[in-house]
Chain A
C-alpha cells in the first residue's frame, strides 16, 4: 500500500495535464532552483531542481520551467534526470505525512557546440529563452551562479546583472561562493524586464588541463583476441596526504568467466590486500559474478585492480541479432567517503538551498561520493550464422544425389514381364483395326 502511493503519484505526474490545480494551494509547496556552474574548460553545468510537497498534484507554469526546451537540452554533452519521492512529516510530532517529490535535471553545455568555442555564455545562448516571470505557485524560485574561482573585484570575469546577495557554503569538500538571483524579487524581474544572466571573461582563461577530483576511476579491457582478456580498473587518489578506503562493487555477466585466483591489486607497484572481499561466483545463465572489495587507497597514488577472464561460447539461440556489436559489462560502482579540504557544518535541510542535499554531509570532515566507471563492450566468439543453412543445403544435396543413386543401384531389381494376351478392350480394338486394315496391337 505504501509502495503503491508513490507509484500512483509518479504515474499521475507523468500523465499530468495542465491547469489541474487546487483552489488554494499552500504557498510553500513548490521550490524551484537552478544552479549554474561554469567549468574551467568553458563548459557550463546547469542543474534544475523542483521540489513539491502536496496532497495531490500541482502543475508548474512559468518560472524556471520555461527554460526546459528540448531542442537546446539535447545539444548538450551530458544530461541526467532523477526523481526522488519520499514521505515527510508535516509537523514536529509527525502525526500526518505528506509526500515530497523532487525532480532533478542536470545538463552540461559544451562550449564548442553551443558557444562556437567562445567561453562567454548567457541564459539566452544556453536555453534560447530568458526568464520572464516567476512561477505563481512557487514559494521559492532562485538562480544560483557559482562564482567561486573567480575574483570578486571583476578582474577576470563579469557577471551581468550584478548579484545583490551571495551565498557561501562547503560543497564537495571545498568552499564555494554562489551569486543568488531571486525570481520572486520584483526588482529582478517584472513585467517590463527579463532576466538574462550573462558571463563575460575579461581575460580569457589559458588552455590548461582541467583540475582533477580527489577520487576518479577508469575501467578498460586489456588483451586482444576472442579467447581471453583482463578487466582492469584504475582508481586514482589525488589527495596529497590523505588515504581513504573505497568500496568497489563489480557485477560481471556470467559469459565472462572470471578467474578469481588472478585478482591482483597493486598500488604504487606494491601489492595491496583489500580489507574485505565478498565474491559470489556466477551460475551459467542464472546469475552474474558479484565481487565487492574494500580497498585502502594510499595518498597520491594509482591503484590497479585487475582480474583475468575467459570469454564463453554461447548457445546459438542465445546470441542477440547483432552479436558482433559486443556484449555490455555494467559499470563498477565505487562508494567512498572522500576527505574534505574544508570542514563542513551539517546544515538544516529546510533552510539551505536544494542543491545542498545532493551531497549529503553527516560528518564535516568528509563527504560521500558514489562513482560509476564507464561501461565496457566486449566481443564474444561469434559463430557464422549462415552455417546451418549451408550444412542443410549440402547434406540434402549429398543425400539426394549420392545416397539416392547407391540405394537405386543396390535395391533395384529387374524382372521380365510376360506380355499379356490382352483384355477385352484390346480384343475390341484389334477388331476395329482389322476392319480398318491397320496392323493389330
Chain B
C-alpha cells in the first residue's frame, strides 16, 4: 500500500512526471560544439524528438527529445563524395563519456594529417540508439520509423563505413566487438578481419561475444568453446535487436561495427592510447578503400574471431529441416487422395445413381474458418496490446508497459482455448479428412514462412525450425493427446523465446533462476514491441502475424474432434 497502489494517484503522478519531462542528464551540446570547432571540425547539431508507444522501463524514457552533435573533418583537396563515421552513442546516464574524450582526441590528431581521402564524421548522439536512428534518417532524408528530426545542414557524401565506440572506463582490459545488427543483418566480414588484424598488431586482447579466443583447436576444448560462441551469435542474431548503434547503420548499406571496451579484473590493462592506435589504424585502412566493402561474405557465423562458417555450409541444415515439413505434407496429400479414391470406389460400384459425397467442397469450407480465426488472433496479438494499454491501465492497477506485456500474454493464452470454440462453427462432416487438409495447409504455410525467414535471418529461421518442425510434424488428433499438447506448447514461439533466454544466460556463464528468467522474459517482450515501433525490428510482427497463427493451426489440428 502506498502512493502508487492507488491507480488514480498513480496516473496523476505519472502525468506530472511526464509533463515536467526534465532529463536527469543532458548532452553538453554547447561545450561539444565549441570543443569540436576548436579542434578544427565543421560542427553541426540536430535535434530530434519521439514519443514512444509506451514508457520504456529498461531505459526509463517515454517522451524522448535530444540533440545530436557531429563534426565533419573535410579531407584536403577531395570533393566530399565519400565519408567514414566514428560514432559515440551517449545514453541517459553518462556511461560513454570516456569514449567522447577519445573521439575528441582522435579528431584533433586526424585533423593535422594530410593523407585523408574521405571526409570523417565524428558523431555524438543522445539517447544512444534513438539519436543514431534520428541522425541516419535525417542524413538519408527518409522517414522509416516516425521520428521527428530536424534536417541536417552538413553532409559529407556517401558513407562507406562506420565504427561505434563504447567505453566505460579509461583503462580497458579487452575490446569486445559486436557484429549482429538489426534484423540479423551482418556487416561485411572484411571489417571484422580489419579489427582483428589491428588487435593482433597492437597486442590488444580482443573478445567475441565476451569470450576469449580458444587457443588449441586440436583437443576438445577449442571446438567446444567455439560452439558456445557460435550459439551465442545465433541467439543474438535471432533476436533481431541492434546490439549497438552499428546495427542501425547496416540498413542503409553502411558496413559498421561496435567496439566495446571492457574493464574486468585482469591485471594487464591497456590505456586509451592503445585503443586510439587501433582505431587510427582502422580508419587509415578504411581511408584506402577504392570501393565499398563487398569482397568478403555478408552471411556467416563466427565460432571465433579468426574463424567463420559460410552460408554454403550452414544453409543445408535448414534446408533438411524444411524438407521434413515438405515430405510430411506430401504424405498427407497422398493419404487424402487415397481416402478420396477409397470413398469413390465403393460408391461407383453399385451404380452411377448413388451421389458422391461432396468431400472436397466440405474440406475447403471447413479450412477457411480456422485459418481466418487464427489469423485474426495473430492480428489481435499484434495490434491490441499497444492500442489497448490505456484501457488496461484504467481498469487495472498496472503501468503501461506492464499492461502491454500482460495483454500480450493474455491474448496468447486465449488462443489456446480456441479449438473448443471453433468446432461449434465448423461442420463435422468427414472429420478425418478435415484435420488432414488443415494440417497440410498448415505445414505448407509453416514451411513457406520458415523458408523466407531463414533466407533473411538464418539464425531465427533455424532456431524456429528446430523447435517447431518436430512438433508440427507430429501433431495429430489421434494418439497420446496430452503428450503432443505438451510438446506443442513447449515449442510455441513464446516458449522458444523463454528457453532461448535461459540458454543465452547459461552460455554467458550467468545462469538465471526461474523468477529472474520470468522477469527477463517480460522485459524482453516489452523491448521487442518497442523496438518494432522505434527501429523497425521485425521479430514481433513475424512472430505475432506469421508464426503464432501457424502454430494455432497445429493446435487446432491437435484438438480436432
Give residues in A with beta carbon < 8 Å to B. 74-79, 110-113, 116-117, 207-209, 218, 220-226, 230, 232, 322-326, 328, 374-379, 382
Contact = CB atoms under 8 A, between A and B. Distances in A.
Contacts of B155: 218, 220
A230 B141 CA distance: 9
Contact of B81 (A77, A79, A374, A382): A374
A65 B341 CA distance: 101
A225 B250 CA distance: 11
B24 interface: no
Nearest to A326: B158
A322 B292 CA distance: 9
Nearest to A42: B40
Contacts of B38: 207
Contacts of A322: 290-291
B200 to A, nearest CB: 27
Interface of B: 34, 37-38, 40, 43, 74, 76-77, 79-82, 111-114, 140-142, 153, 155, 157-158, 251-253, 290-292, 294
A207 B77 contact: no
B141 A110 contact: no
Given A207-B38, A218-B153, A225-B253, 15 more contacts: A77-B76, A78-B76, A111-B40, A112-B112, A113-B112, A113-B113, A207-B34, A220-B141, A220-B155, A221-B158, A224-B140, A322-B291, A325-B290, A374-B79, A375-B79
Contacts of B251: 224
Given A218-B155, A221-B158, A224-B140, A78 B292 contact: no
Contacts of B40: 111-112, 117
B158 A223 contact: no
A224 B142 CA distance: 8
Nearest to B35: A207
Nearest to A79: B77
Given A207-B38, A225-B253, A325-B290, A110 B158 contact: no
A324 B140 contact: no
A32 B138 CA distance: 48
30 contacts: A75-B76, A77-B77, A111-B40, A112-B40, A113-B111, A113-B112, A116-B112, A117-B40, A117-B112, A209-B37, A220-B157, A221-B158, A222-B140, A222-B142, A223-B142, A224-B140, A224-B142, A224-B251, A224-B253, A322-B290, A322-B291, A324-B292, A324-B294, A326-B292, A328-B81, A374-B80, A374-B81, A376-B81, A379-B253, A379-B292
6 nearest A-B residue pairs (beta carbon): A222-B141, A324-B291, A77-B76, A112-B40, A377-B81, A224-B252
Nearest to A78: B77
A379 B74 contact: no
A110 B116 CA distance: 14
A75 to B, nearest CB: 6
A322 B82 CA distance: 15
Contacts of B153: 218
A78 B77 CA distance: 5
A83 to B, nearest CB: 19
Q: Is the interface of A mostly helix, strand, loop or mixed?
A: loop
Most buried by B among A224, A226, A375: A224
Interface-centre pick from A79, A326, A378 (highest chain B CB count, 10 A): A326
A222 B153 CA distance: 14
A113 B76 contact: yes
Contacts of B113: 113
Contacts of B81: 328, 374-377
Nearest to B110: A112
A78 B76 CA distance: 6
Contact of B76 (A110, A221, A225, A379): A110
B77 A76 contact: yes
A374 B79 CA distance: 7
Contacts of A378: 158
Contacts of B140: 222-224
A33 to B, nearest CB: 24
B82 to A, nearest CB: 6
A325 B76 contact: no
Nearest to A221: B158
A377 B158 contact: yes
A224 B144 CA distance: 11
Contacts of B252: 224
Contacts of A326: 158, 292
Contacts of B114: 75, 113
Contacts of B34: 207
Nearest to B158: A377
A208 B81 CA distance: 26
Given A113-B112, A374-B157, A76 B37 contact: no
A374 B119 CA distance: 13
A232 B77 CA distance: 24
B292 A325 contact: yes
Contacts of A328: 81
A73 to B, nearest CB: 10
Contacts of B82: 377
A323 B294 CA distance: 11
Nearest to B81: A377
B294 A77 contact: no
A185 to B, nearest CB: 35
A218 B152 CA distance: 11
B72 to A, nearest CB: 12
A223 B155 CA distance: 14
Contact of A232 (B79, B141, B253): B141
Contacts of A379: 158, 253, 292
Nearest to A210: B42
Most chain A CB within 10 A, of B37, B111, B291, is at B291
Nearest to A80: B77
Contact of B157 (A74, A77, A377): A377
B76 to A, nearest CB: 4
Nearest to B139: A220
B308 to A, nearest CB: 19
Contacts of A223: 140-142
A112 B111 contact: yes
A325 B153 CA distance: 25
A293 B222 CA distance: 67
Nearest to B293: A324
B389 to A, nearest CB: 32
A78 B252 CA distance: 31
A226 B155 CA distance: 20
Given A116-B112, A224-B251, A325 B142 contact: no
B267 to A, nearest CB: 39
A208 B38 CA distance: 9
Contacts of A113: 76, 111-114
Contacts of A382: 294
A220 B114 CA distance: 25
A113 B113 CA distance: 7
Contacts of A220: 141, 155, 157
A285 B509 CA distance: 61
A230 B158 CA distance: 13
A221 B159 CA distance: 11
A117 B108 CA distance: 10
B37 A207 contact: yes
Nearest to A225: B253
A77 B81 CA distance: 15
Contacts of B77: 74, 76-79
Contacts of A226: 253
Contacts of B157: 220, 374, 376-377
Contacts of B291: 322-325
A322 B289 CA distance: 11
Contacts of A221: 158
Contacts of B141: 220, 222-223, 230, 232
B206 to A, nearest CB: 28
A208 B16 CA distance: 39
Contacts of A75: 76, 114
Contacts of A116: 112
A383 to B, nearest CB: 12
A116 B157 CA distance: 27
